[in-house]
Amino acid sequence: MPQTVDEIPITPMNTVDSSIVKTGAWRAFRPICDNSRCIKCWTCWKFCPDVSISISEEGPVFDYDHCKGCGICAEVCPVKCIEMVPESK
Amino acid sequence: MVKELLTGNKATAYGAMYARAQVIAAYPITPQTTIVERIADLISEGRMHAKYVKVESEHSAMAASVAASNTGARAFTATSAHGLALMHEVLMWAAGARTPCVLVNVNRAMGPPWSVWADHQDAMAERDTGVIQFWCENNQEIFDTVIMAYKVAEDHDVMLPAMINQDAFYLSHTSEPVDLPDQEAVDGYLPPLDPMVKLDVEDPKGFGSLIMPPQYMEFRAHMARSMDNAREKIRKADREWEELTGRSYGGMMDMYRCEDAEFVLFGAGTMMSTAKDVVDELRKENRRVGIARLRVFRPFPVDEVRYLADRVHALGVMDRTYTFGRGGPLYNEVNGQLYNHSNRPPTKNYVIGVGGRDVRPKHIRALFDDIERVSKEGYGDEGEIHWWGLLDGTTPEVEK
C-alpha cells in the first residue's frame, strides 16, 4: 500500500525474510546433478553464492525458487556431474 | 576550559574526540592525513575511545562510516579532493540511507593540473548528494562545527550526513589558539546518538531495499523536507552553542557589518577573513561595505541572501572554483534565489583564489571598487563573470 511522505519510514527497509522473495524465475539454465557420479565433496554447496544448495545423502539438493542458474556449481564440481540444462527444454 | 594552539587538522581531531565519535574510518590523503594521524594518537593515548578502522580507500572509508552509523554508532571520517570524489557514490548512499555520519573535507584543488592547495571545487561538486555542508574560516570554528554538525545531523527531523569544509594549509596546517570547552559541557550539548532505526540481530531488517516507482518519490521528498528542516536546526544549534561557549557563527550565514552596507562581497572560507579586515579599513574611509561569509552551502541560505538583496546596491560573489559551462557555484545559487525575489541588485561573479592562489587585501579592495563601478556604470564589455587576477592584464592592479 503506497505511503505518503509523512508515513514512510526514515530509510527504505525490508522486514521480510528474503527466503519468501522468489528469484528463481530469473534462471535461464537449471543445474541438474547426476547423483550416481557425485562424490559428496560439497564443493558446490560451499561455492553457491545464493545459498541455494543443501546437502542430502543422495547428493546436492537445489532450491529452484532461489537458484538463478549462474552455473558456478557446475564449474567447480571436480567430477563434472552437474549439468546446466536450458530452461527452454 | 583550556586553550591550545592547534592546526585546523588537530582541531578537527579534537572535535571528533569531544563529540565522542565511536568509529573512525581512516585513509590518508594530503592535506587531510594529520587528522586521522592525530585521532590515532588520541586513541593510543587513551584519551579517545573509538574503534579505528584502517580502510583501503575513501570509498571504503565512507562505506565503513555508513555501516557504523547503521549499527547506531557515531561515525567520523575525513578526506580531501580526489578522496572526496571517490566517496561520491557513498555520500549519496549515506544521505539516502539517512545515516548521520560526519566527515571533514580539507578543501583542495582537483587535478589535473595536480595540486594540493586550497580550492572549493571538491566540496561544491558534491552539492546534490543530500549531505549537509558547513564551511569554516578558522580553527576554532572547525572544532566547534564538528560538534554542532553531529547535533544537526542526528536530529530526528533531519537525519542526514554532514560535511565540514576547511581550506587546505591556510587552516589545515596553520596553528591558531583554540578554546576547548569542558567535556561535560559538550556532553550536555550533544547527547549520545539516538538512532531511529538500526541493525539489530534480535529484530532483523534489510537496509537499502528496492523501492518501486510509486514510492521512490516519497523518499526523495522526505529527504528534501529534512534538508529544509536543517536550516532551523542549524540556527538553533548555533544559538545553543553561543549560550554554552559565547561563540556564534551567525546561524545560516556569517554576516559582517552588513546591516547598513551598500556593497557586500559573498564568499566562502579563509579568504573571507582577509575580506573582513579590508572591510574594517574601508569603513574608516566611510565606505559602507560588508562581508557575507558562507556558513552553510547545503541547505542554501535563501533567506539570508534575500535579506542582503533587500539592502545592498550591488552584490559581488566570490567563487574559489568554477562550474565549467557557466559561472561559479555560489554565483549561480545567489542568482537563482533572487530571480523570484522582489529586490534584485546587480550581482557579479569573481572567480578568485583558484588552486590556492593568494587572495590579498589589495585584491578585496579592488573587488569592492569593481562592484561599486558595476552598480553605477553597468557590466560593460566584460560581462558578469571575471576570473580575477589572470596574468593577461584583464584585472586592474594585479601584479604578474
Supply the pLDDT for residue B300. Answer: 98
B197 → closest Cβ in A3, A10, A17: A10
Supply the pLDDT for residue A19. Answer: 79
* Number of cross-chain residue pairs from A and B with Cβ atoms under 8 Å apart: 47
DSSP A46: H
Supply the pLDDT for residue A23. Answer: 86
Q: Please report how the helices B271-284 and B361-377 are oriented relative to each other, as an axis angle in degrees rounded to 10.
A: 70
Residue of B nearest to A4 (CA): B218
Please indicate if any CB of chain A lies within 8 Å of the CB of B214: yes
A84, containing H or E segment:
strand A82-86
Backbone phi and psi for residue B214, each to the nearest 5 degrees, phi listed first: -65, -10
Asked if A30 contacts A87 with a C-beta cutoff of 8 angstroms, the reply is yes
Please indicate if any CB of chain A lies within 8 Å of the CB of B197: yes
Q: Is A84 exposed, middle or buried (0-12, 13-18, 19+ CB in 10 A)?
A: middle
- Which of A6, A7, A10 is most worth mutating to test chain B (most B CB atoms within 10 A of its CB)? A10
A3 → closest Cβ in B206, B208, B218: B218
Rounded CA-CA distance B169/B139 in Å is 11
Backbone phi and psi for residue B282, each to the nearest 5 degrees, phi listed first: -65, -30
Supply the pLDDT for residue B271. Answer: 98
Asked if B289 contacts B185 with a C-beta cutoff of 8 angstroms, the reply is no
Supply the pLDDT for residue B288. Answer: 98
Chain B, 63-82: which have a CB under 8 Å from a chain A CB?
Answer: none
Residue of B nearest to A13 (CA): B207
User: Beta-carbon neighbour count of residue B214 at 10 Å?
Assistant: 9
Smallest CA–CA distance, residue A46 to chain B, in Å, is 24
A8 → closest Cβ in B159, B197, B218: B218
Contacts of A15 in chain B (CB under 8 A): 204-206
Asked if A13 contacts A26 with a C-beta cutoff of 8 angstroms, the reply is no
Please indicate if any CB of chain A lies within 8 Å of the CB of B224: no
Among candidates B192, B181, B298, B194, which has minimal Cα distance to B242? B181
ipTM of this complex > 0.85?
no
A34, containing H or E segment:
none
Among candidates B223, B121, B225, B99, which has minimal Cα distance to B167? B121
Supply the pLDDT for residue A56. Answer: 96
Q: Is the peptide bond before A60 cis (omega within 30 degrees of 0)?
A: no
Supply the pLDDT for residue B398. Answer: 59
Please indicate if any CB of chain A lies within 8 Å of the CB of B222: yes
Smallest CA–CA distance, residue A3 to chain B, in Å, is 7
Beta bridge partners of A32: A83
> B302: Cβ–Cβ under 8 A, 6 or more apart, which residues?
B337
Show the domains of chain B with their CATH numbers: 2-245 (3.40.50.970), 253-387 (3.40.50.920)
A39, containing H or E segment:
none
Q: Which residue has 545459498 as its cell numbers?
A: A51
| Cα dist from B357 to A77, B84, B100, B168, whole Å | 63, 21, 34, 12
Res. A89: pLDDT tops 80: no
Answer whether B206 sits within 8 Å of A10, measured CB to CB.
Answer: no
Among candidates A58, A61, A34, which has minimal Cα distance to A45? A61
Please indicate if any CB of chain A lies within 8 Å of the CB of B159: yes
Q: Please report how the helices B81-96 and B213-245 are oriented relative to each other, as an axis angle in degrees rounded to 10.
A: 110
A3 → closest Cβ in B97, B207, B215: B215
Tell me the pairing of strands A53-54 and A61-62.
antiparallel
Supply the pLDDT for residue B395. Answer: 80
Rounded CA-CA distance B25/B164 in Å is 16
Please indicate if any CB of chain A lies within 8 Å of the CB of B213: no
Res. A17: pLDDT tops 80: no
Residue of A nearest to B204 (CA): A15
Quick: pLDDT tens for A30-46.
Answer: 999 999 999 999 999 99
Tens place of pLDDT for every residue, chain B, 400 residues?
899 999 999 999 999 999 999 999 999 999 999 999 999 999 999 999 999 999 999 999 999 999 999 999 999 999 999 999 999 999 999 999 999 999 999 999 999 999 999 999 999 999 999 999 999 999 999 999 999 999 999 999 999 999 999 999 999 999 999 999 999 999 999 999 999 999 999 988 888 888 889 999 999 999 999 999 999 999 999 999 999 999 999 999 999 999 999 999 999 999 999 999 999 999 999 999 999 999 999 999 999 999 999 999 999 999 999 999 999 999 999 999 999 999 999 999 999 999 999 999 999 999 999 999 999 999 998 899 999 989 887 787 655 4
Supply the pLDDT for residue A21. Answer: 81
Supply the pLDDT for residue B397. Answer: 61
Asked if B96 contacts B219 with a C-beta cutoff of 8 angstroms, the reply is yes
Among candidates B217, B271, B44, B245, which has minimal Cα distance to B143? B245
Rounded CA-CA distance B161/B340 in Å is 30
Fold classification of A36-86 is Alpha-Beta Plaits (3.30.70)
A53, containing H or E segment:
strand A53-54
